[in-house]
Structure 1
Amino acid sequence: MSSTNLDKVTKILSEVRNKVPLVHCITNYVTINDCANILLAYGASPAMCEAYDEVFDFVKLSSALYINLGTLNKEQEQAMILASTSAKIHNVPVILDPVACAASVKKIQVINRISQVGKIDVIKGNIGEIKSLAGQSANVRGVDSIDSGEGALESCIALSKKCSCVVAATGKKDFISDGRKSAIIENGTEMFTKITGSGCMLGALCGAACGASEDKFSAVVSAILSMNIAGEEAVKAANAPGSFRVKLMDCIYQLNEEKLKEGAKITWK
């Protein structure tokens, strides 16, 4: 493992806590509270602003914009497009979570529109969503991926080159690429699949990390590693979904660079 790469990744946690980035979230209603709370525990500041009349100006004040398509409606669609336009004008990083894009033509249309009028710096989805966006066949069930992960890294690389952004595909292993360099993370816990919103919370953390660092590839690796290490710690103390959710917040709050370095299982490509 490259110690230089790992040093870059782990230092971003401290950068988040020093800079306290404001993460503007337009996210789904199922997990909005979880996203806000995990951002606070991570050291960032959440703003769950989606009113059309406010988003353009609010993006200007933000360190990052997190767009989650999970419960997409017409009002959110309009706000997302306007917010992404503002992000392009004001050079604010945009993290897109294409929830259920493999099962919804409408969501693909919205993603294309955001790409046309705004910008996307990071696409973070499960393996099924990322393979679908990359034009590969994927096994999905609603918002969940049941894909084996075969070809996931290749899909990340291809989509990254196509969209000129960092791409992350999450699953039993997590794959991240900026089209030139890649990482595979093998940390985490199956308990993430037993609670609603683990992926959404991770997307919000990616927003915080990207809001604190210019190195978007390292920022996304750092956010995913942080979530996974915290999950591993949480499941030791709470082996049922309800208590795991609560303990996860505590473990995110208690993270430090040393814990990330000691626990990291990353392969660099």
Structure 2
Amino acid sequence: MNTLNEVSNVLTKIREKNPLVHCITNHVTINDCANILLAYGASPAMCEAYDEVFDFVKISNALYINLGTLNKEQETSVILAAESAKIHSIPVILDPVACAAIPRKIDVINRIFQVGKVDIIKGNTGEINFLAGKNADVKGVDSLDGSEGALDSCITLAKKYNCTVAASGEEDFITDGKNSAIIQNNTKMLTKVTGAGCMLGALCGAAAGAFENKFIATVAAILSMNIAGEEAFKEAKAPGSFRVKLIDSIYELTEEKLRKGGKIIWK
């Protein structure tokens, strides 16, 4: 049985290891992703140049690929980086932003899986439902899908790609195809700041770079984000101040806060 003790220990491992997380992410939230990684105890590198990514991946502890503002160089870079990660056994976190709205994204995702191996897929419920072959209700990069059927979609993808899959929403669903968790911590204020999902993907990279069990690592990263969001909302009731306090709350996280505050249903 998975426990909050095991999940909370991931935070200590991150701060002990200070994992180098190679991020190829969208340009809207690149600064927030870097800062939240630093606050979490990781070391961010926002390296996306095609001529550099192959070599940089092999010195990293994790690769985070976010398809949010995918330009042509990023497209070639993420494919090359994914190939390098497979060669050098570096864990990969894929954030399939807007895959349900923009068909080109699926072509890139398929290419990533052809040349590499993804360890964690982290998306919103609409993106995960779409990748699982279901109808998805989306508005651009945002999901309008509810929680119903989200865990089944995660399990379908986890088994298809032999990886951990997480669908974020009012509840968060995580599975590796055998073990599953539903996280019920949340605050709606996370939907009022740009890039909360991108920052969450970056945290998954930090956890995956420091902890061998990718299912537990993903649970830890998502629980960290949600508890930090709840903590931030206690002091910041508007989006601007909340965004700043969110990063502060990530920095102020402790194992005790995760253990005492975590609301997880294990399946």
2:161 aligns with 163
What is the CA-CA distance between 1:216 and the residue it aligns to?
0.1
2:135 aligns with 137
1:83 aligns with 81
What is the CA-CA distance between 1:5 and the residue it aligns to?
2.3
Normalised by the size of structure 2, how large is the TM-score? 0.99
Normalised by the size of structure 1, how large is the TM-score? 0.98
1:240 aligns with 238
Identify the match of residue 197 of structure 2 among 192, 196, 199.
199
Q: Secondary structure at the match of 1:61?
A: coil
Where has structure 1 moved over 6 Å in runs of 4 or more?
A: none
Q: Secondary structure at the match of 1:70?
A: coil
Coordinate RMSD, CA, aligned: 0.6
Unaligned 5+ runs, structure 2: none
Aligned length: 267
1:14 aligns with 12
1:51 aligns with 2:49: yes
1:184 aligns with 182
Q: Secondary structure at the match of 2:44?
A: strand
Sequence identity percentage:
72
1:67 aligns with 2:39: no
Instruction: Give the distance between the partners of 1:149 and 1:142, measured in 2 at CA.
Output: 19
Q: Secondary structure at the match of 1:101?
A: coil
1:99 aligns with 97
Instruction: Give the distance between the partners of 1:219 and 1:166, measured in 2 at CA.
Output: 10
- Tell me the alpha carbon deviations over residues 238-261 of structure 1, each in whole angstroms, 9 at most, x when there is no partner: 000000000001000000000000
- Tell me the alpha carbon deviations over residues 51-101 of structure 1, each in whole angstroms, 9 at most, x when there is no partner: 001000000110000000000011000000000000000000000000000
Instruction: Give the distance between the partners of 1:71 and 1:199, measured in 2 at CA.
Output: 14
Q: Secondary structure at the match of 2:157?
A: helix
Q: Secondary structure at the match of 1:30?
A: coil
Out of 64-73 and 5-14, give the one that drifted further.
Answer: 5-14
- Tell me the alpha carbon deviations over residues 89-146 of structure 1, each in whole angstroms, 9 at most, x when there is no partner: 0000000000000011100000000000011000000000000000011110000001
Q: Secondary structure at the match of 1:102?
A: coil
Q: In the alignment, residue 77 of structure 1 is paired with which amino acid?
A: E
Q: Secondary structure at the match of 1:23?
A: strand
Q: In the alignment, residue 62 of structure 1 is paired with which amino acid?
A: S
1:228 aligns with 2:222: no
Instruction: Give the distance between the partners of 1:209 and 1:140, measured in 2 at CA.
Output: 28
Instruction: Give the distance between the partners of 1:266 and 1:194, measured in 2 at CA.
Output: 24
Q: In the alignment, residue 123 of structure 1 is paired with which amino acid?
A: I
1:254 aligns with 252
1:152 aligns with 150
